[in-house]
Structure formats: C-alpha cells, structure tokens
A and B are shown apart, each in its own frame.
Chain A
Amino acid sequence: MTVEERKGNADQFPVGMRVLAVDDDPLCLKLLEGLLRLCRYNVTTTDKAITALKLLRENKDKFDLVISDVHMPDMDGFKLLELVGLEMDLPVIMLSGNGETQTVMKGITHGACDYLLKPVRIEELRNIWQHVIRRRKFERRCHNDLDSREDGQKAQIVKSEDGQGAADCYEKANKKRKDQIEDDEDDSEDNMQENEDPSSQKKPRVVWTVELHRKFVVAVNQLGIDKAVPKKILDLMNVEKLTRENVASHLQKYRLYLKRLSAVAGQQASMAAAIGGRNSSYLHMASFNGLRNYYATGGSRQLPTLGSFQPNGVLGRMSCPSALGMHGLLPSQTGQLGSVPNSTSNSYNDLGKIQGVTSPGNPQMNLLQGLPGTLDLDQFQQPKFVQEPKKHLPAGLYGSGLAAGPSTGSFPNVTNNPLLLQPNKQHDRSGGLGNYSSFRMSPSSSDFEIDLQDISQFPRISRYDDSWQGAVASSRDSANAVPILASSSHNNLSPGNIGGNISSRTPHAATKILDESPNIVAVAPLSDPTSNNVQNQVCSRSGSTIAMPAGFDNDPKLSKFNITGNSRQKWDYIFNSNEISSTSLNPSLPNLRITNATAQCQTSESVFINKKLDVDAIGQVHFGAPHVTQACMIDKLISDSQQNFKGEYAMETTSLQTGLNSTGCSLDDVVNAMVKP
C-alpha cells in the first residue's frame, strides 16, 4: 500500500477501520475483538449472522470490512459471505478452525478476500486492512479508466488479444494504477476519503445481482462480444438507474474473464513469444506477474488477492486456494459464459468461476489449477505450452527464481500462481531469490524419505519417476517427510543452469507442497510425457499438491533446481546425493534437510525433481516471498554438487552432517545421517 496512505492521511487509515466481527463462539468473538482493538480498528461484534446482515444492510457505508466465522448455527458462513459480497460488496475475511484445503477453497470461491485459521494471531489481523484498500483502489481505477477512456480500454483489450496475454493487460492496468497512486497523491487521498466521506468520484455502488448479470450477458451475447458497447448494452438491458459507467466497468471485467478463459492456453505461447525465446522463466515470470497483478488488483471483486491469503497455524493461512481455486473448482460448472449458475453467488464469482471452465481444448485453464487438489496435473502436460528448446535457463535464471525451463511454460505459471497466493507473500521478483521454485527432489530409486520432525507440516510432493520408487508416496505418509532434493541429472544438463549454479545436473525437482497449510501448492514437475517414465505423483498431506510436468525433452537436461523458501522457514535441505551418473536419478546433490517446518510453512516450496532434467518441465513454482538465504544455499549446493556432494546444508538449525558424497549415497545413509543429530 502506498506510503501516503499509511502516514499522511486525514483519516489515519487503517487506524479506525471499521470492522464487523461475526462469530457464534463467544470466546473466539471476545478474543477477536480484543485483537482487533489492539490493532486500533473500530470493532463491532455480533454472534449472529442475521444480526450482522441487518447491521450491514442498515447502512452500507458503516463498515469497511467483515470478518466472519465459517461455522455458525444460524447461517452458514459462506452464505453470509456471498450475501455480503453481493449486496454490499465489502471485503469479507473468513475465519475457521478448519484449515482443510477444500474448505479454504470454498471460502475463496465464494469470494472471501482472505481465510484465517483459528486461533487468530495478531500479526495476521494487522494486515487485513490491505483488503479494503486493494478493493477500493481497483474499483476506482476501473471507474476512472472507463469514464475517461473507454476506447482506450478497448484498445487495451484488443492489444491483449493480440497476444500480449491477459497478464500484460493486467500489468498495464496495474501499473497505471500504481503510477497514478504514486504520482497523484491527491487522487489517492481522495480514494482514502472514500472511506469517510464519499468523494465526488465515488459512485453509488451498483450491485451486480444474478439477475442483472444475466441481463447483461444476454445483451452482450446479442450484440456479440466484440461489438458490445456499454451504451448499447445499457439500452438492451433496460434497467433503471444503471449508468453507462457501471455497464462499462462490468463489461471490462467480463471481458477480462473471457480473455482469461480463452487466453490461458494461448497465453503461455503468447507470453513466450512476447517474452522471447527460451526463457521460459521470463515467460513465467511475466505471466505470473501479470496474473498476479491481475489478481492482486482484484480482477474480480471476488477474487482473492494474491498474497492476501494467509494461512495460519500450521502453515499459516492457506492462501492457496485463492483465485486459483476458483478456477479449479469450476470444472463442474457449466462452461457457458454468462450463465449464472447459482443464484446465491455473486455475479463476479460467477465470472471467476467461468474462468475455471477451461476453454475448449485447454485443460489447463487452470492457471489456477495450481491449487491443490483441484489440479490434475497430469493434464498439464505440456502440449499446450510452448515447448522451449531445452535450453536452459539463463544463468541468471536461478536467481530470478524461475525454475522451469521453457517447456513447462505454463505450468510454472500455474503453479506459481498458487504460490503467490501464499499468505502475505508478495511475490517479489527480486532479482535473486524472488522466485524460487522449490524443488523437491525425490530420492533416487530407493525410497528415500527423510523424516524430519520439523517437516511434519510440509506436504510433500514427490514425483515419481518410474525409476524411483515410492519416494513420493512415502513422503505423503510420513509425517515428517522431507523434501529431498535430488538431482537427477542424467545427462548433460544444459549449461544454462539455473543461476548458473545449478549444475545441470539436478534434474530433479520435486515440488513440495506444504500440506496443511492451505496455501500451498507446490508443483511438481510432471513427468516428461515423452519419456513415459515419469509418473508424477504428487502427494501432499492435505492433498494440495500439484504435479508439474516434467521436462519434455528427452535429453537429459538440467534439472532445475529452485527452491523457494518462505522467509520464515528454515530449511535444511538434504539432498540425496545419489548421483546422477549412477542412478540417473539423483545426481549428486546436496542433501537438504528441511527443518523447522513448523508454522512457517507458508511458502510453497516446491522442489522439482526432474528426472529427465528437462528444465522446462519443472517450471517453477514460486512461493511467496523470496527467500534469499535459501536460494543462496541452494545455489551453493548446486554448485558444489556436481559430484561430491557433501550434503548437508543447514539453514538454520541443526544440520545434518552428511558427508554423503555423491557416489553411492544411499537412502539409508541419508536417513542415518538425518537421524544423527
């Protein structure tokens, strides 16, 4: 959020932000109230959802934000969520003791801006004001743009059709927004004032009810999506009190949704084209960022913003399911655009959902499918994506955190997104570590599962390589499976290794999915379709794993090894140092042991194990905040590893003395080593 907002504002936002807290449990309500007051918000509490609705309906401008429990006796929290979104369009945060992916996903698809797990911590509450600002700014932006330049918008959209991809478009919008914010303080203050005192720019909110949206869609279809102009739509709809601006902004959002639906598949390609060449990483980054921006700016009102989702407890809030979840969820929805399936859902939700419908022939629409549990990663197989030459990632790639190589193009994007959704994680593509995909390396052929106590919280995604046995599976079961990085470089890894450091040898990337924390979806490289060998198995404790396609190329390629770490996490990675040469599964890689998985698992760490080393395959999964140290470590590891890998890399706490060298490291050794300390 802008600095101006933080300091110079007349109304001192977020201090005094008006929150309505709803929870039937008096203890939790009291606690929540106390914490919110500590954050200096203005709190109103009620233990009945019905009362809450009444309060909200009485005066729509009375509150800025609603926090509601999911399980309430008089009304389902999700229902309340939808109603509030539909009628009042306020940001709603869900609260629950249940952090299961499905539930969280449900919250997000119903339009929650965030999903917090109980017991709530003050740190999380301190950030909730972001949702208010984000929503406001984006809306305002939309209105402004539309008012002033409808044609401009169209042009923008058209341009995106040209192949820039929706992401770019969003990025532009986002950038514009940012520029405006930065450059025009008055404007932002105006925005801020909206809270207290509607500025002249503020328009009365139009609620796009299901009915209204249906009319809108009918009108648009009648006119033809390309020819649909707000004025004409307005006329066709024939609704009183609807202004051209309302329609225009709604149209823009609708268009974006459609774009997303259809462009997702092509996006990768176009992004690749736009971004250039083989750097899938760039591609990913761009699309990723683009998408991220889109979400962040609230492309759909109901779309959760990236980074806002914050898992709590175990892994923090699960932010995973956010927008991505929406898509993932929708496979069952009718694919019709414009159909409004569910009267209770907010129309924007529908739009969001619609997105989930894969555009014809594009199973991956799920960019968002990065969300755990909803993806069928196997679908992700590349075909749709541009297959980049197996080249590699430019040396700097590693630094930039792009894990995957080109071919996996889209995947990384996909997975990245979910990752972005990590709680509070701003995806920051900071140079070095910004985007790291963490790779989970599956051990070589033997099942290699390291149980680390600390890791219990991490879901592990293990990828099966056909030559690997069950490492993956076991990780699922073992409470403390540790993601293991193994490099399976079989052959020559193309030089472009990640960051130049990663030796081409690390073909494996395994994505690790943090389980339990709703947020993370790690993407595991999917097996290379061409190779037939790899079975990707994604396992995660909470089912939130995503397999990433493995490299496509048959050439042994460099395995991309990126690790994205949550800055709060401490990871020790233990690489299974079987070496690649011998097993062709795990090249010598340092063993990483992950420690201290607790609580911090907010990041989605994905470790890719790419057996074939197709860099592309791995794609990247970026989770959350860049973790510089980890990246460094990995770098170091990677570089060291080529062959004699000394293994352990302790990030913070105990480190395993591995002394494992690459050759002949066996699972037992590793396990023993791990057990040692």
Chain B
Amino acid sequence: MLPLCSRVLLSHPFSPMSLMALREQLNMLVNSMYIEGLLDQQFQQLQMLQDASSPGFVAEVINLFCEDAERILTELTKLVDQAVVDFQKVDAYVHQLKGSSSSVGAQNVKLACIQFRQFCEENNKDGCLNALNVVKHHYYLLRNKFDTMLQLEQRIQAYDSKQQN
C-alpha cells in the first residue's frame, strides 16, 4: 500500500503538478525520512554525488540496495526457518545487509541489523526470528518511501527534460 501522499500523487497521472510542487513533495518526503530515522547522513553523501554528470546516481544506488537487501532477506528467511539454525551463516548475511544499509544511509535497517547480530552471537533462534521480522519491517517501510521518492524523481526529471526540449 502506498502511503497516502503517493496515492494522491500517482492517482492523477495527468494532473499537471508543477515542477516546483514536485520538488517540494520530494524534499518533504526526504526530510521526513531523515527525521524519522529512516535515513541518516550517509544518504546525504549519496545526494551529493548526484549531479549533472550522473543524474541517476541516487536511483541506481537505491535500486542496487533494494535488490541486495531483498536477496539477503530471502536467504535469511530460509536460514532462520530451519530446525537447526546456522548462526554463522545468518550472521554473515546480516553483516552484509548491515554494510549495505550503512552505505546507503538506511539507518533504521542498519540498527535493526546490529541488533540482529546480537542474537546471532548468542545463538538465539527466537531472537533471530524476531530480529528478522524487525529488519523486514524497517526495510519495507523504507522501500515504500524509496519507491515514492524515485517516482517523484522520475517525474521531476521528465519535466526537466521536457522543458529542455
């Protein structure tokens, strides 16, 4: 389910939302993500890397992150579901996810991973199960917002290129 604001935005594909309004939407969205702890300063670095020469940088990075994360989450689900859990493997994956999330600035996800690793170290299966759920929760929340963000981006860029043409 997309959040309300995106539904409103996207439900009227032909509504001529002005460029400025789009930008404002995007800014507000990103700011809210910072405030809510979904994103941290690292994301700012990403934003900084996007410029005229690499206009799709943030989008690419976000996509890479999402692919990576989902792959890892799938693996983790399988691993933690087993009767006897291989905590080392689980930990390795969580470590990877923690690395990617910290690289992209996905703060909540990263923190959830850190806690997950605690349970791994303690060989606590239930703890791991719970922790995995928490990670997923934060990840999907983030992904939703990323989706909206990227859509806004796209529209803004389309607008820009239209104007240039």
Identify the closest chain B residue to A96 (Cβ).
Answer: B99
Which residues of A297-346 have CB atoms within 8 Å of chain B's CB atoms? none
Q: Are A122 and B99 in contact (CB under 8 A)?
A: no
Task: State the CA gap A31–B103 with chains docked (Å).
Answer: 8
Q: Are A27 and B42 in contact (CB under 8 A)?
A: no
Instruction: Tell me which residues across on chain B come within 8 A of A122, comparing CB atoms.
Output: 45, 48
From B42, B49, B68, B105, A26 is in contact (CB under 8 Å) with B68
B13 CB to nearest A CB, Å: 31
Q: Are A27 and B49 in contact (CB under 8 A)?
A: no
State the majority secondary structure of interface residues on B: helix
The answer to the question of A119 belonging to the interface, with a C-beta cut-off of 8 Å to chain B, is yes
Q: Are B61 and A27 in contact (CB under 8 A)?
A: yes
Instruction: Tell me which residues across on chain B come within 8 A of A97, comparing CB atoms.
Output: 95, 98-99, 102
Q: Are A30 and B45 in contact (CB under 8 A)?
A: no
Task: State the CA gap A27–B61 with chains docked (Å).
Answer: 6
User: How many residues in B have their beta carbons less than 8 Å from beta carbons of A?
Assistant: 21
Q: Which of A30, A35, A118, A121 has the most CB of B within 10 A?
A: A30
Q: Are B102 and A27 in contact (CB under 8 A)?
A: no
Q: Are A25 and B99 in contact (CB under 8 A)?
A: yes
A407 CB to nearest B CB, Å: 42
Q: Are A28 and B103 in contact (CB under 8 A)?
A: yes
Q: Which of B64, B65, B99, B102 has the most CB of A within 10 A?
A: B99
Instruction: Tell me which residues across on chain B come within 8 A of A675, comparing CB atoms.
Output: none
The answer to the question of A34 belonging to the interface, with a C-beta cut-off of 8 Å to chain B, is yes
Provide the B133-150 mask, 1 if CB < 8 A to any CB of A, else 0.
000000000000000000
The answer to the question of A239 belonging to the interface, with a C-beta cut-off of 8 Å to chain B, is no
Instruction: Tell me which residues across on chain B come within 8 A of A120, comparing CB atoms.
Output: 103
Q: Are A31 and B95 in contact (CB under 8 A)?
A: no
Task: State the CA gap A26–B95 with chains docked (Å).
Answer: 15
Given A34-B54, A97-B95, A97-B98, answer yes or no on A27-B45 (Cβ-Cβ < 8 Å): no
Identify the closest chain A residue to B51 (Cβ).
Answer: A38
Instruction: Tell me which residues across on chain B come within 8 A of A30, comparing CB atoms.
Output: 60-61, 64
Task: State the CA gap A119–B48 with chains docked (Å).
Answer: 15
Q: Are B45 and A35 in contact (CB under 8 A)?
A: yes
Q: Which of A25, A27, A120, A121 has the most CB of B within 10 A?
A: A27
The answer to the question of B33 belonging to the interface, with a C-beta cut-off of 8 Å to chain A, is no
Instruction: Tell me which residues across on chain A come within 8 A of B98, comparing CB atoms.
Output: 97
Identify the closest chain B residue to A29 (Cβ).
Answer: B64
Provide the B51-74 mask, 1 if CB < 8 A to any CB of A, else 0.
000100100110011001000000
Q: Are A118 and B99 in contact (CB under 8 A)?
A: yes
Which residues of B80-136 have CB atoms within 8 Å of chain A's CB atoms? 95-96, 98-100, 102-105
Q: A26-B68, A34-B46 are in contact. List 10 more A-B contacts (CB 8 A).
A: A25-B96, A27-B64, A27-B103, A31-B46, A34-B57, A34-B61, A97-B95, A97-B98, A120-B103, A122-B48
13 A-B residue pairings within 8 Å (CB atoms): A25-B96, A25-B103, A27-B68, A31-B46, A31-B104, A34-B57, A34-B61, A38-B49, A98-B95, A118-B103, A119-B105, A121-B45, A122-B45
